[in-house]
Amino acid sequence: EAGVVQSPRYKIIEKKQPVAFWCNPISGHNTLYWYRQNLGQGPELLIRYENEEAVDDSQLPKDRFSAERLKGVDSTLKIQPAELGDSAVYLCASSGGTGDNSPLHFGNGTRLTVT
Amino acid sequence: SQKIEQNSEALNIQEGKTATLTCNYTNYSPAYLQWYRQDPGRGPVFLLLIRENEKEKRKERLKVTFDTTLKQSLFHITASQPADSATYLCALDSGGSYIPTFGRGTSLIVHP
């Protein structure tokens, strides 16, 4: 099966500019996650979707971050405006459900550098 | 506060030896714990899951133990190889949240 696809792989922008990341999950996976990973740290959850519904977005900085998952398949994560502290790797993951029978499948991430 | 602790120092071992990585947690009551492998520039890859009522789980050269009294999981790689060099992340759910929370990972370096 094809894995989780993310684009772009790298993005360099100046602070205050907008940026968007795209994720295509594994076909048939209803649950989609966006994580942020800082250097030397583990991934931290930003938002989780069940189909097209955001069911956990408590960690998403809503003043500048937004996400959508139209039709319950692809997802986009946006930052506007970006700040220096947003530099990180943004990881998308999907799973066939939730719980112990549904491990996460990650994409290779988008590395964002804000200058 | 809730914490997941993995050794931040890299583990260096010789090829053929057994690597043992530790994951400790506080203020969690996880129903299960997962281990992932992450290579540089790549996303984490799922390796093993162990449930709270399981003491040990094995898969090929990998073994995971889970001690809910000590609040600790140990991850073992036997007969380690240079190709096993990577960062290993533990992740646990927050007691029914179904959302894996990750530790910072431990880097393993296997020397030929």
| Residues A4, B43: C-beta atoms closer than 8 Å | yes
Q: Which residues in chain A are contacts of B4 at CB distance < 8 A?
A: 42
- Cα–Cα distances (Å) from A30 to A34, A69, B63, B96, in that order, read 14, 11, 30, 18
Contact B31, B95 (CB under 8 A): yes
How many helices (DSSP H) and strands (DSSP E) are in chain A?
0, 11
Average pLDDT for residues A87-95, to the nearest whole number? Answer: 97
pLDDT at A16 over 90: yes
- pLDDT for position B95: 63
**Token pair for residue A97?**
């459900």
- pLDDT for position B99: 83
Nearest Cα of chain B lies from the Cα of A103 at a distance, in angstroms, of: 7
| Pairing relationship of beta strands B62-67 and B72-77 according to DSSP bridges | antiparallel
- pLDDT for position A2: 83
What's the CA gap between A100 and B92, in Å, rounded? 10
Q: Which residues in chain B are contacts of A99 at CB distance < 8 A?
A: 31, 93, 98
Q: Assess whether the previous peptide bond of A81 is cis (omega < 30° from 0).
A: yes
Closest residue in A to B10 (Cα–Cα) = A40
Percent of chain A past pLDDT 70, that is, above it, reads: 98
| Residues A43, B4: C-beta atoms closer than 8 Å | no
pLDDT at B96 over 70: no
Q: Assess whether the previous peptide bond of B40 is cis (omega < 30° from 0).
A: no
What's the CA gap between B64 and B66, in Å, rounded? 7
> Could you tell me the pLDDT band of residue A72, with boundaries at 50, 70 and 90?
confident
| Pairing relationship of beta strands A110-114 and A10-13 according to DSSP bridges | parallel
Q: Which residues in chain B are contacts of A98 at CB distance < 8 A?
A: 98
Average pLDDT, chain B: 94
> Maximum Cα–Cα distance for chain A, whole Å?
41
Average pLDDT, chain A: 94
Cβ-Cβ contacts under 8 Å between A and B: the total is: 51
Quick one: DSSP state of residue A70? G
What's the CA gap between B4 and A102, in Å, rounded? 21
pLDDT at B74 over 70: yes
Question: pLDDT of B16-55, one tens digit each?
Answer: 999 999 999 998 888 889 999 999 999 999 999 999 899 9
